[in-house]
Structure 1
Amino acid sequence: MAHTISTWIQHPAYGHGQISGEHNENFWVVRFVTAGEKTILKTAIVLDGHPPSPEFKFNEKGLAAKAPKKTKAAALSFEHLLERFLAAYPDGVNGKLFDEDERRYKASASESFKSQLSEAELKRLIEGSLFDEVSKRALDLLKATNLVFHIEGMRFRDGLKTDEGKKLFANGLYDHLYGSAPEEERFQNYLLVLRQLNALSWPMATYFQFLASGGEAMFMKPTVSQRIAESVNVALNYKPEPNWLTYCQLLDVAKNVRRRLHEAGQEVHSAFDVQSFMWCAYDQSKK
């Protein structure tokens, strides 16, 4: 997009910032979230950026306004979360209502993924240089659920607007899901791909593997995962930046949730049920 005053941009050294003025015909004055105000050559700005959050503001000095400190919410017991969940879904994880609300659409999206971007199909598309088709299918699959926030989906879509971005994503996704390297290496490499597409976030880092694995490779909703981890006494070691250690701990959280559900007489039907329970229990606990 054409950059003007108030446009958000991204700089490789200074990160995300907002153009606040024009120094002269060749330079923009940019307020960066973490680096302060800089004078940047206009031709050096090629990447669009975004604020850290929709409500973000700079203060009168051009610095990032400090957000008020939030009081850490008290940990919720797993028993309380289960109680709140059963208040909304009296028949539990195997009830018809839960199936209709939570399981069915995720299972359907997973089956679509396995047919549209299976190992053989994705390899065929890549070998035929059909990177545009890979991107189209990925975006359709992203819209098949409500798991990824709209703004994160928009950043991903924007990253696929160029031929280079489409090719990068197609090859990165294949290596991530079907490559021969160790899982940790494949995960970390995929994070680098998302970073280059300006689409790196926990939901985007875990969405497609969640569908491809039938829910076994857990999907990360940061706030939900942190609260559920506390309820089952697992140290999530959460960091906003997606990373392998936190992801491994998330898998441990899912394992513990599944065990606790079993002990409570709730036998999950599929791996999707664990993620669905986590979201529903957290959501009901706020009411």
Structure 2
Amino acid sequence: MSAITVGSLVVHRNLPLLGFGKVFCIGYMYALVGFIDASGRREVKRLGKTFIEPASDLSALGQFDGWRIETTSDCHPVAPSATSGTGKSRKAVGPAAWTLNQAYERFVAHYPDGMSGAQYQNAERTWKANQRELWAQQFPPGHLRALAADDPLAAGALVMKVVQTKEVALLARKGELPVLNWALTKGSPAPFLLALADVVEQAEPTRATFEALAEALESLPTLNPGTRVLSWPTLTVVPFLVRPDVHMFLKPKPTQETARQLGVDLFYNARPSWDTYQRLLTWSQGLLDFLKPHGARDMVDVQSFIWTVSGPVP
């Protein structure tokens, strides 16, 4: 059997009615395929590589002449007129409005004693450290995987104990939080929990585990059909709380605002992608290096800095 590459003519192993497909992108785990069925209807699907196989009849390849699909590096289609995920053209990021020192001045306007002060520690670090300790107590090494297999709803409930806090909510209480809570405590969370274990147990983030986690999160059943559970906050909140040494939390508005003011282009798209997350991690590491002399220890401090300076100065 010949290898499948970009441009290959393929068929779906389980859905022959999709017709022939042409591969427009192929990555580590997924492929983006444009299908044309017998009636001429076109459909684009991003699916696991195991679901496609080379077509035995190559005569249909001519049907795809002139069909072009722009893709991200992780094989998501990019709309011809938009890359923002909102239907609007993505605006290029202009020159920086702030220097890093000016951004830090905005930070100390909120926390005059800096990151070592009690005001900052109580507002930003302590409760997140408590949630990380709670995770360690609930999930000693190997326990998340075992519980996900034996009693996934119980495992999901324990994960939500880490996410749900009485302090500042990282997830929107009227949207993201209840949707994720239902999916993990009432749905079928086992695949997501196993993908989550892969992410938090790795020494550092990788494309493969990030994309697998996003795919598992998007596949979670929800209480109301059409409700979207996959978002940047729901995808990044647990890895960030559990492993702030290497993972970062992305809340769209404050993150985009601070990045814009500092002249950083994250190539943000509302749909999570490895490209944007990798840019976020690179930028965050640079901020951490800058903030370490001011008392920063990990991505908790970077996230707090990004959120704080994105708002008005008191």
- Fold equivalence (TM over 0.5): yes
Aligned length: 214
Moved >6 Å (runs of 4+): 179-182
TM, length-normalised to structure 2: 0.61
CA deviation string 1:104-147 (max 9, x = no partner): 011111111122234422123134x1112111111111112511
Report deviation, 1:86: 0.8
Which of the numbers 274, 280, 286 marks the counterpart of 1:256?
A: 286
- Percent identity over the alignment? 27
8 Å contact 2:132–2:241 — kept in the other structure?
A: yes
Q: Which moved more, 1:213-222 or 1:176-185?
A: 176-185
- Say what the alpha-carbon RMSD is for the aligned residues: 2.8
Tell me the distance in 1 between the aligned counterparts of 2:204 and 2:134: 26
Which shifted more, 209-218 or 273-282?
209-218
Looking at structure 2, the residues matched to 280 and 152 of structure 1 have their Cα atoms a distance apart, in angstroms, of: 21
Q: In structure 2, which of residues 196, 205, 209 is the aligned counterpart of residue 186 of structure 1? A: 209
The answer to whether the 8 A contact 2:214-2:230 is kept is yes
TM-score by length of 1: 0.66
- Distance (whole Å) between structure 2 residues aligned to residue 102 and residue 251 of structure 1: 20
1:108 aligned to 2:138?
A: no
* 1-structure distance, mates of 2:252, 2:270: 8
SS state of the match for residue 157, structure 2?
helix
8 Å Cα contact 1:257/1:274 also seen in 2: yes
Per-residue CA distance 1:66-100 (angstroms, 9 max, x = gap): 99xx9x99964133332221112111111111001
Match of 1:226 in 2: 256
1:191–1:200 CA contact under 8 A, matched in 2: yes
Give the counterpart letter for 1:212 in structure 2: V
Counterpart in the other structure of 1:89: 111
Q: In the aligned structure 2, how far is the partner of 1:230 from the partner of 1:141?
A: 31
Q: Is residue 233 of structure 2 the alignment partner of residue 236 of structure 1?
A: no
Cα distance in 2 for partners of 1:253, 1:279 equals 14
Note if 1:140 corresponds to 2:164.
no
Determine the C-alpha separation between the residues in 2 that align with 1:180 and 1:268.
21
Q: 1:182 to 1:99 in 2, by over 3 A?
A: closer
Alignment of 1:1-287 (within 5 A): 76-77=97-98, 78-127=100-149, 129-144=150-165, 146-150=169-173, 151-160=175-184, 162-163=186-187, 165-178=188-201, 183-197=206-220, 198-262=228-292, 265-285=293-313
TM-superposed CA distance for 1:182, in Å, is 7.9
